[in-house]
Structure 1
Amino acid sequence: MELRKAHFPGSAPIDAYGNGGFRFADMSHRGSLLFLPSGIHGWDAREDSPLTVDLFAPLLDEEPGKIEVLLIGTGREMRFIPQDVRSALREKGIVCDPMNTGAAVRTYNILLAESRAVAAALIAI
């Protein structure tokens, strides 16, 4: 898994989602995104792709302690996260919370505004 160059070097609230992408920080992106402490990055996940440890590798490479909660927007419907992915995240001290992408966007914005150690892995819808 290759991490794409950051679209934005830091955290930013999500202004809109839908039509296959996201708007944030006066920019737009088509496709899925990772909102990490190191920046906002393109992500190769799709609604029909399996959720694997490799897919979450960029999160696992973040500096320890920078992420406490990972919101996983799984698309239009909530999907369960495989146990091996949960275990890999837990080993890094990250609790994951899967939900549909809309709920993940709203929750991310709230936790970000509260200055919480939050990240989001959002599958575009």
Structure 2
Amino acid sequence: MSGGIEMREAHFPGKAPIEAYGNGGFRFADMSHRGSLLCLPSGIHGWKATDARSLDLGDFQSVLAEAEEIDILLVGTGRDLLHLPQGLRDALREKGIAVETMATGAAVRTYNVLLAEERAVAAALIAVD
């Protein structure tokens, strides 16, 4: 038996609406997470992204791995709407994923609606304070 605490990557193995956001994190499924999130068909995962201006294709590898199960990806870019680089949008579109960027609050609300409609939706949500 080791004496340390084992830290694991944040992961909730299911789909759940986002109950709240702000203060640098999110609440969902009666849990809270500090930092950004990827909401994918495989579940809700912690995401290292902190600034939409620095996003690149590497930040979306988990999304691409589940592309066959995703029709639309909502990207919450923080407090303000920022557009993703065209090359990144094109790479996601080549995998059959439509991309919509919006401020994180709008992305959370839209994600919840599409999830309730049982649409093939995913979300990449940058945390806001």
Residue 57 of structure 1: how far off its partner (Å): 1.1
Question: Structure 1 pair 48/91, CA: closer, same or farther in 2 (3 Å)?
Answer: closer
Alignment root-mean-square deviation, CA? 1.4
For residues 23 and 70 of structure 2, what CA distance do their matches in structure 1 show? 28
Q: Structure 1 unaligned runs (5+)? A: none
Residue 74 of structure 1: how far off its partner (Å): 0.1
Q: Which runs of 4+ in 1 moved over 3 A?
A: none
> What is the correspondence of 1:20-59 to structure 2 with a 5 Å cutoff?
20-47=24-51, 50-59=54-63
Q: Which residue of 2 aligns with 1:118?
A: 121
Q: Identity across aligned pairs (percent)?
A: 67
> What is the correspondence of 1:55-74 to structure 2 with a 5 Å cutoff?
55-64=59-68, 66-74=69-77
**Count of residues paired in the alignment:** 121
Q: Is the 8 A contact 1:69 1:96 kept in 2?
A: yes
Q: Structure 2 unaligned runs (5+)? A: 1-7
Are positions 1:109 and 2:112 aligned together? yes
1:102 aligned partner, one-letter code: G
In our comparison, the structure showing a higher alpha carbon Rg is 2
TM-score in terms of structure 2 length:
0.89
Picking from 94, 99, 121, the partner of 1:91 is 94
Structure 2 residue matching 1:87: 3-state secondary structure: helix
Q: Is the 8 A contact 1:71 1:121 kept in 2?
A: yes
